[in-house]
A and B are shown apart, each in its own frame.
Chain A
Amino acid sequence: MSRTHDVHPYIPNSEPRVKRQMLDFLGMESSEDIYREIPEALRFRGTLDIPEPILSEYRLQRHVEALLKKNRNTKDNLCFLGGGTWKHHVPAVCDTIIGRDEFLTAYVGDAYSDHGKFQALFETSSMLGELTGFEACSTPTYDWGNAAAIACRMASRTLGRKEVLFARNSGPSRRSIVHNYCLPDIAVREIAYDPATGLLDLADLQRCLNADTAAVYFENPTYLGTIETQAEEICRLARSVGALVIVGADPTSLGVLEAPGLQGADYAVGDFQPLGLHMSYGGGLGGFICTRDSKAFVGEYPSLLFGICETSTEGEYGFGEVFYERTSYASREKGKDFIGTCAALHGIVAGVYLALMGPQGLVELGEGILQRVAYAKELLARIPGVKIAFDSISYSDFLVDFNGTGRTVADIDGALLDFGIFGGKDVSKDFPVGQSALFSITEVHEKEDIERLVAALTAICR
């Protein structure tokens, strides 16, 4: 027979004598003396139909681990998926810091008892600014798509213009998020890409740029896996009509790719996930926005902004909220868009990662990824029927064209599972590329991993 417990380890005052003592102090019989404020018709008088509790921590762990065992993970299988969440090495120090109860369980305290939180996020902003070529940076947004969408609205407000041009070779989720965010008052027009190179179609861009263009958004590297070598030209064209430029960037690529701010862009946005965060089934995201440091740009951020200041003790740093009046916390519907709980912890970890890597680490990481991808492309292109979609240099992600194999991507990916391989993402529904898949290779892919993929695909496509 199972024991009946009348106290829960997470609820100290569930201990019946303590609870009785508190009710006696209040002159109350039970919590019903408080719930009397809720009209009877609104009361729920049943019992919640959810599973009975698993009170033992041991059994809870067994229960959840049994569910997780139903998953096939990327440690036991070889994963070539990227496109917004990437498998990079997560340094042990990052795991240590993310697990610290101090950071893990803090929330909205000011920069006295939570001084460390402010300093950590200020430092992340400082490093990210150096990486992207800007001097202002927000606290984390929900994710990259959210950052891109916010930047579009910021640009629209800064210029008082109502149209955004969105590169069609960008991520489909981000595209959807931007459309949703701009719906009330900003038109989103999509700019074609060149089907031969995968790069932005500059002629189409020129056709679409006009006096109401607030911003041009493009990604570098593009979602379809090419490096956008026309970045400076895109910025120049945008400037010719007075429009601003937003670049979506994979931050790990910025050891080898030029900083968007130095190419003429006005905003850089992207995701923290590749900077020391586990993929966690898409839970590792957190967006960033960097801009120029002037009131015209900073004044339009909806996010909290953490700045540095002095204290009454000489030489001591303090931190606080910059231009708080902007936010919806301060000004409700008159604030800039809205702000809420986003992904601060991931922003903190990204700072740890960047400090671990340092300038040289990031350069070596980037150079190594470029080489591994080039090697994989060469080998894959030798498989009969398989082509590499675009003739360009790729950073991490690249598009593989399976149209010549007579097989669908779904079919090929299904067959790869039997080899313990998670193949590329099927993009056939999102882009007019037929049966093509987006593969991703990072520093975690060794030569033998790439060769294992090639051998499996050779066998499957035979």
Chain B
Amino acid sequence: MAEPRIRKNFHQASWDEPIVYEMSTPGVRGILPPDVDEAIVEQVGDVAGRLPRGTRRASPPVLPELSQKHVLQHWIHLSQETMGSNLSNDLSEGTCTMKYNPRINETLAQDPGFAELHPDQDPTTVQGILEIFHKFQKVCLEISGMDAVTLQPGGGNHAVYTAASIVRAYHAARGEADQRDEVITTIFSHPCDAATPATAGYKIITIYPDERGIPDLEAIRAAASKRTAAIFMTNPEDIGIYNPHAAEITKILHSVGALCFYDQANANAFLGVARAKEAGFDMCHFNVHKTFGTPHGCSGPATGALCCRGFLARYLPVPVVESDGNRYWLDYDRPENIGKIRDYLGCAGVVLRAYAWTAMMGPRWLRECADVSVINNNYMQKIMETIPGVSSAFQGNGIARQEQIRYSFEKLKNDVNVGSEDMNRRMLDYGIPWFWSSHHPWLVPEPMTLEPCESYSKDDIEEYCAVVRKVAEEAYGNPAFVKNAPYHSVIHKRIHEEEFDDPDRWALTWKAYQKKHGRI
């Protein structure tokens, strides 16, 4: 293997950009709204002036006043101070599946035939977009093996919350709502598998892994009872280990009358390889913005596709897109539905892009996504485990990892007191985006979770490993230097971070900052 090239002379754009309010000059305008026709003004007069006192705004809102050029310039600067995955080696954000987001799909989303549709238009005038919804629904059903799906949830966690609402409705319909007040999850499942059922009113029982990193099957068996409403579990879990007991778990839960929800946020590992249906689950979800190549948008807009078996379809949020093969319509006539989760049909732009993405993949290339993702990940693991100070969770347990891995800088931390966050800040200096450590609690100490999905090349993987190696070497040579990084990022190391937890010092708006930090 040739020595990988790393970006030794990198520097991210750093504009020392002021806050927009600091750029304001009274009287300057950025855009002018269209004037009202004089005949209208003549006829109706000053309508705002007729608003009662206390209802009409007493003084104009304090907004910045900038010319159009300066608005454009400011936000382009801010964009350049942001490291999107389309412009960087972003296998950094493990669990997030940072795929290439094709430009053609952005072109399609700007088409007036989509962008200029109102969601309450008569269904006869939106047959094209309804057809796209319906066709993408079929893709989700085929990949999961389920019978029905809603695309209304606005993200992955929202889909899992929707599943929790359906669990509640299902048991209520059977008269067991009060009896079944517990949901089981596993600690390496995403936090939403605990938090969303809790929001829906459930007590949470968390299962920890056995010595090989697999959720303890006996602990699940012991936890399952007549009080169990459902299990919410991710597979493969965030550490990349496939849970081989998935089918056994669903049998255990079903035997006590509980439902089984499969969190498929990590679906990239098994497109066309394994499905929720065969493992016996009643519901599952996909993060459309991850698995189906749509942009993450700094954290949304997104879509969670919630799939279920036929017997749960009656609870799906309304409306549901239906078709007879020729015509498409919205079905509201579902008396047992759980209510709405999000307005309208969901994030239609995400669905449109995902449809276009899958149309370009077809069965063969979807499967190739999975194959290349797991090969990439294993290739990377083999290199990473040769780096001094780096290990992986449950290293050496003999289990091949799927699409992602949680690494650990525990040894580095013990040796020279350089941990995950220090590594993260210094790696920025080589053009690597901020990596995902782990959700809390940090069961794997000093974590780094990486996911080299199919969009990343062999060179990308080797470059990434070379940067980790370089920074680990720097840490052993000069730990203080690494701990004070970054030097070539947008900004320098933050100080007084404890203020973020202090109500007297934190500032969520410019006005609060000016007040609390003595600027006015």
Contact = CB atoms under 8 A, between A and B. Distances in A.
B447 to A, nearest CB: 14
Given A116-B80, A378-B44, A312 B116 contact: no
B371 to A, nearest CB: 4
Contact of B458 (A22, A43, A285, A286): A22
Interface string B262-281: 00000000111111001100
A358 B21 CA distance: 11
Interface string A270-296: 000000001111111110000001110
A334 B260 CA distance: 22
B207 to A, nearest CB: 13
A195 interface: no
Q: How large is the interface on B (under 10, 10 to 19, 20 to 34, 35 or more residues)?
A: 35 or more
A52 B77 CA distance: 42
B138 A35 contact: no
Contact of A322 (B37, B270, B382, B500): B500
Contact of B199 (A110, A137, A337): A337
A176 B47 contact: no
Interface stretch (B222-230, B471-479, B505-513): B505-513
Interface in B487-520: 489-497, 499-501, 503, 506-513, 515
A232 B20 CA distance: 32
Interface residues of A, number: 214
B122 A42 contact: no
Interface in B18-71: 19-21, 28-37, 39-41, 43-44, 46-48, 50-52, 54-58, 60-66, 68, 71
Nearest to B236: A37
Contacts of A68: 108, 111, 113-114, 128-129
Contact of A356 (B30, B156, B244, B456): B30
B75 A352 contact: yes
A312 B346 CA distance: 43
Nearest to B377: A34
A61 B157 contact: no
B508 A125 contact: yes
B233 interface: no
B30 A357 contact: yes
B513 A308 contact: yes
A81 B121 contact: yes
B155 to A, nearest CB: 4
B31 A113 contact: no
A320 B498 CA distance: 10
A87 interface: yes
A50 B365 CA distance: 11
Contacts of A21: 458
B61 A60 contact: no
B393 interface: no
B508 to A, nearest CB: 5
Contacts of B198: 333-334, 338
Interface stretch (A8-16, A211-219, A380-388, A400-408): A8-16
B298 A348 contact: yes
Interface stretch (A158-166, A237-245, A324-332, A452-460): A324-332
Contact of B62 (A232, A284, A331, A359): A359
B454 interface: yes
B101 A280 contact: no
B199 A338 contact: yes
B93 A108 contact: yes
A227 B55 contact: yes
B89 to A, nearest CB: 11
Contacts of B85: 105-107
Given A143-B154, A316-B16, A358-B65, A311 B493 contact: yes
27 contacts: A12-B457, A34-B401, A43-B278, A44-B145, A44-B278, A67-B128, A70-B128, A71-B129, A97-B72, A97-B76, A104-B297, A105-B84, A105-B101, A106-B82, A131-B63, A137-B508, A180-B165, A180-B341, A281-B118, A281-B119, A312-B484, A332-B191, A335-B195, A357-B31, A361-B33, A371-B40, A413-B122
Given A144-B343, A311-B494, A341-B155, 12 more contacts: A44-B275, A60-B104, A61-B107, A68-B128, A69-B113, A105-B101, A109-B82, A113-B12, A280-B117, A310-B495, A354-B63, A393-B47
Listed from nearest, the 7 A-B pairs whose CB atoms lie closest are A340-B157, A184-B201, A53-B362, A282-B344, A282-B119, A116-B81, A68-B113
